[in-house]
Structure formats: structure tokens, C-alpha cells
Structure 1
């Protein structure tokens, strides 16, 4: 049974660049359409969200309208009104802002990405329940780096290293209050540092925080408090016990990994 106050789920499926190497290697026009386990990644994500008890409506931002014909099932779902579709914008933050405008202000929003190919309903439910319990405006999912490395020792993941541990982002974000929507503007200012931890810390927290981060003195709670202060919102983290939650498909190595995890023998290059 679905939660009566279910989240609206937003899935970002636009491409960061016109010639994505993962899409090119798979012979499809958009990374979101790359097959994993015999299904396009975007369908895997939509399936996981659809099976979650915490999610109601689903909004897909991207891929480009001209690419929808390449995935017949996706086109049918959109045509039948099962999935709402909006045109992607130039950057993820702009796409998120556009998609959020389609959701009433009083409805909580779960935001994720189409390359979150290992997403499962239990991961979604765990994060959403934790986000609701956090007494926050915005909640972000993190996964302990050591958990990820123990499960997938050969993978390379970006991690923020703090005094109380190293954490990987997990591409799950909850916008829990009407005020939380303003967080997208803050995201726009820092998204260029996505894969550079020091730049990300500087953009999000300021250069005093960079010094503390560099010296290994900052804790996760301190970082969240600083982000909350700069945003004027209550920001919380939900720590996930699922190593798969930290694995998205940014590179061909990532694609090989997720295909190996799901037992997919499809070639990756």
C-alpha cells in the first residue's frame, strides 16, 4: 500500500554533453537509454520508483523528445499518462527546477537520476522514510565509502573525506517542504564542483570549511550545519546501508560494473 502522503519522484534523464561516451559505446542516442540487464537504465529507475510504497507520481525530465521513439516502452508509458515528461534543460539544476515546477508546492519530491541503474524499491523506501524522519527541509542520501569499497573493491567513486568517515553521494535527494525548492538555486551555484571535492566544499561551505576539510577536522554534522546556514534551510543526510546506492553510470567502467552486478553479459565497448 502506498503512503497517502507519497513523494512525487523526479528523474533527471538529460545528457550533460551531446556525445556521451557511455551512450556512444552502447549505440544509443542518450545515456539514459543504455541497456543494463536487458532494460534501458531509465526504465530500471522508473520501475524501482513505481514499486516503492513511498512514491506516487513520477516525472521524467529528458531525454530529448526526438529520442523517445528509440525506446517504445518509455514512449507508451508517457503516452498513457503513467509518466509525466518534461523537456530537459542545459544543466541538471535547471532541469530539476523545471521539473519541480510541475509538482504542487505541498507535495514532497524525491529527485534522482536515470543513470542510477542499481536503484531498488527497498533503497527508495529506506531513504524516503529516513528523510521524513529527519525534521529537515532537504535530505540527501550518502553511503559510507568503506561499505562501497568492501562490496566493489575495484570501483572508483568520488568521496568526501571527513573526520567521522568518508561518504559517497548516492543521487537521492528529498525536497520535503515548500521552502526546500529554493535549494535548486544553491545547487546551480555549486554543481561545477560535482566531481572535485575541494571545489564542492568551497562552493557549498566557504573557504574556512575548505581548510577544516583539508585538515581532516570537519564532521558530517558540521558540514550539514554549514550548508544549512548558507542555504537558510534545514539540511539532513540519510546514511544508506546499501553499497549499490553509491554506484551510478558516469563512465564505461561504471557500466561494466553495473552490468556485472546484475549478471548482464552485454558488451560495454
Structure 2
């Protein structure tokens, strides 16, 4: 069984001038931002339950037994922990999703889950090629990093086998805080990797091996996704304006 944890408790004052509003409650069209994320996840048979860590105002939006809301923590990691405590014991794997992905689609999540199913690993992290991002969303601003295999940006999903969650918590914390800074993530794994990166010799396999070393043998796998929407998180006013434009066009 797969359970999705949605981390939607972050505050982004730059997106709601004059008031301190949780990112989950930012209005985009007729819905709150978090509703787009939950809608995409709820459309998948592969996901049996969704646990949202966010502001209490979200509770009134969901009354079904398959969607639970827990209070947000003071940090993203504490929010993850609160949500994880509600995960059923028979859960096979956890899909961690940030709540600021209003363009997320069921197809993107399904592709990620199905791809991971056929890979040998314990922890899976998506990467999107630069050319795919720029082709679908020309105005999308992201930080990219060059590997031997190509130029990528990171997605805002993380799939973890339940058996290794406790062991992976330190790296999960770094993923959450450094997901927008791929250079910093490489340095966190091993400073020696930075030289390979600067010399354009760093491979995805190098990163996977170093992650396994740090996690005591837990196998981390980079997964290439053709869906840029999993990397389009709303951080700035320009992101929000572009998302509103795209969703309005999709509706019409």
C-alpha cells in the first residue's frame, strides 16, 4: 500500500503581501493551492490514503476517511513526522509531496510510481531534464545541475520504502531543506563530489553510491521524469502569476 504525505504548512509571505498566510491557503482560481495537489493524488488508485500536514483551515475541506489532516509542525521535518505518525502499519511505501505544486497531474505521479516499481531501490527521487522544463513551461525558473547524463532539476516528490524511513530521516530532512539548492545537496553528500561536478564528470550513479554510503546501505535511485510539473513549485510572485495563467488556460 502507498500512502501520500502532503507537506503544506509552509509560510510564504511574499505570495500574500500584507498577511501571513500558509502556502496551502493561497487562492488560485476557485481553489486553494493544496487542493490541486490533493486532487491529483486522490485520482490515483495506487494511493490508498493521503495525510496532509497543514493549517487547521484545511480540515473542513476533507471529510472522507482516506484523507486526513494533521497540524503542521514548526518545521517541514516536524510536519513530516506528524504526518508519518498517522500512516497505517501495513503501508509499504510513503510518497512525500510538497503542497506547493498546483500543476501536479495524476499522470505525472503515476509515471513516477510505476517507474519506481520496476527499479531496485529503497528511496527514489525524481529529476527532470532542462529541455523538458523549458519546452513545456518557457517561463519556469529553476536551478539546474549538470551531470554526465544531462542537465537536470529536481522534483518535489520523494518515494521511500516504509522499512527504511527511520534510517532515511537525516537525508529526508536535507532533501526538504536543500531541494531547491542542488549544489548544496551535492556538497552535503560529499565535498569530493563537488570537484567532479565542477569538472562536469559527476554522474547520477556517483550520487547514488554516496547516498547509499551515508545511509548505511539504503539504496537511493534517481528517476528521470518527463513531467516538468513535479518540479514547478510556487515560491515567488512570478511563479504564482504564471501558474494562474496556465490553470486559467487549461480550464478554458
TM over 0.5, shorter chain? yes
The answer to whether the Cα contact below 8 Å between 1:100 and 1:181 also exists between their aligned partners in 2 is no
Q: 1:128 to 1:181 in 2, by over 3 A?
A: farther
2:82 to 69, 74, 98: 98
TM-score by length of 1: 0.84
1:56 equivalenced with 2:40 (yes/no)? no
Q: 1:177 to 1:134 in 2, by over 3 A?
A: farther
The answer to whether the Cα contact below 8 Å between 2:9 and 2:76 also exists between their aligned partners in 1 is yes
The answer to whether the Cα contact below 8 Å between 2:139 and 2:242 also exists between their aligned partners in 1 is no
Partners of 2:179 and 2:140 in 1: CA distance:
18
Partners of 2:177 and 2:26 in 1: CA distance:
25
Q: Which residue of 2 aligns with 1:221?
A: 205
**What secondary structure sits across from 1:263 in the alignment?**
helix
1:14 equivalenced with 2:6 (yes/no)? no
Report the number of matched residues: 248
Deviations 1:105-162 (A, max 9, x none): 5411111011111111111111111122212111111111121012222321022221
Q: Which residue of 2 aligns with 1:164?
A: 149
The answer to whether the Cα contact below 8 Å between 2:101 and 2:229 also exists between their aligned partners in 1 is no
**Structural mapping, 1:75-90, within 5 Å:** 75-78=60-63, 80-90=64-74
1:24 equivalenced with 2:8 (yes/no)? no
**What secondary structure sits across from 2:16 in the alignment?**
helix
**Structural mapping, 1:144-163, within 5 Å:** 144-163=129-148
Q: Which residue of 1 aligns with 2:115?
A: 130
The answer to whether the Cα contact below 8 Å between 2:108 and 2:229 also exists between their aligned partners in 1 is no
- Structure 2 unaligned regions, length at least 5: none
The 4+ residue runs of structure 1 with deviation greater than 4 A are 189-192
Partners of 1:51 and 1:150 in 2: CA distance:
26
1:261 to 231, 236, 246: 246
Report how far residue 191 of structure 1 moved.
4.8
**Structural mapping, 1:186-265, within 5 Å:** 186-189=171-174, 191-203=176-188, 205-232=189-216, 233-263=218-248
- Structure 1 unaligned regions, length at least 5: none
The answer to whether the Cα contact below 8 Å between 1:138 and 1:174 also exists between their aligned partners in 2 is yes
Q: 1:128 to 1:194 in 2, by over 3 A?
A: closer
Deviations 1:48-97 (A, max 9, x none): 1110121111100012x2xx0xx6xx51414x544211121122222212
